[in-house]
Amino acid sequence: MHYFIKFIIGQIASISIAYIAYKKQALTLSGAIGAIILGTGIFVCSGLYGSFLVIVFFSTSTLFTFIKNRNKKEIEKQYEKSGGRDFWQVFANGGVGLLYSLQYHSTPNPKYLILIGVSFAAPNADTWASELRVFSKSLPMSLRTFKKVSKGSSGAISFLGILMSLLGSIVIAFSAIIIIIVFQLNISPISLSKVFLVIFLGGILGSFIDSILGATIQAIYYNESLKKETEKPTHNGKTNVLLRGYKYFNNDFVNFMSIFLSTIIVSLLL
């Protein structure tokens, strides 16, 4: 009965949030369905800890996505997806968190609380960097060529982007500590300071891995009509030319793998 009640509460809360996000065009219909599945599963398995981190990540990243949207329309032409998040985007960013929530549910090891934290610190750090680095006055540097590239290019970094990445990871790490303290979650023998530090560094690691993968294996195309690089395989019904990377390694794949790899590395270090 306990799990049934948690399931009902989680589903009602997830449906409510997903509906609002869908009406605000932060989620597509498939994205709303994915958010309901993800949100319910995380609440049932890791309670308010995982759910709170999901809300912090989704609310802040969505807010930044819509900030000065007009100024980013030209840059958004390079992105594979823009606007509301779809089903695959939702799970690319939250699927790893659900995986570790399931493990925490079966074995309440404090390590999994840390890995859940890292799984949301990484996409939060990357999203804050990606959304806000486009407002930098200087051009970012490609990690592949170490040369200046256009704003919004995959696998590129800038000073503002790095700063936003640090802040994005700190927010999730701090949020995790708040929930642990308020609900007195068992993290013994790990100290609060270590939990904060590991989640923070894990988030930065995930963001860095995302940039590396974006610069090396992610599929990048060339759009002849726009005369620029893009993550989109097609434009107005026409196929773009694969410039580098592998066509099956799109942005969703890179996001998922960067989060997953960062949690694996953190797990091994723990």
The domain tally of the chain equals: 1
Among residues 185, 138, 183, 178, the alpha carbon closest in space to that of 158 is found at 138
User: What pLDDT is stored for residue 61 in this prediction?
Assistant: 84
Give CA–CA dist 152/110, Å, rounded.
Answer: 37
Query: What is the reported pTM?
Result: 0.90
Distance CA 213, CA 171 (A): 24
Q: How confident is the model at residue 2 (pLDDT cuts 50, 70, 90)?
A: confident
- Least-confidence region, from 8-12, 98-102, 197-201: 8-12
Report which of 246, 216, 220, 245 is spatially closest to residue 233, judged by C-alpha positions.
220
Token pair of 48 as six digits: 């308010």
Q: What interhelical angle do 87-106 and 110-132 show, nearest 10?
A: 160
Report percent pLDDT > 70 for the chain.
93
DSSP bridge partners of 148:
141
CA distance 96 to 252: 13
Task: Using alpha carbons, select from 168, 119, 104 the residue that is nearest to residue 266.
Answer: 119
Average pLDDT value for residue range 221-230: 81
pLDDT confidence bin for 73, thresholds 50/70/90: low
Mean pLDDT, the chain, rounded, equals 88
- 250-270 pLDDT, tens digit per residue, is 999 999 999 999 999 999 998
What residue type is assigned to position 49 of the chain? Y
- Is the per-residue pLDDT at 226 higher than 80? no
- Model confidence pLDDT, tens digit, residues 22-32: 998 889 999 99
Task: Give the structural domain span for 122.
Answer: 2-269
Percent pLDDT > 90 in the chain is 62
Hey, which of 2-6, 20-24, 148-152, 233-237 has the most confident mean pLDDT?
A: 20-24
Q: Can you tell me which residue has the tokens 């925490």? A: 104
Question: What mean pLDDT is predicted for residues 198-227?
Answer: 91
Q: What is the pLDDT of residues 79-134, one digit of tens each?
A: 545 557 899 999 999 999 999 999 999 998 999 999 999 999 999 999 998 877 76
Asked whether 108 and 259 are in contact (CB, 8 A), the reply is no
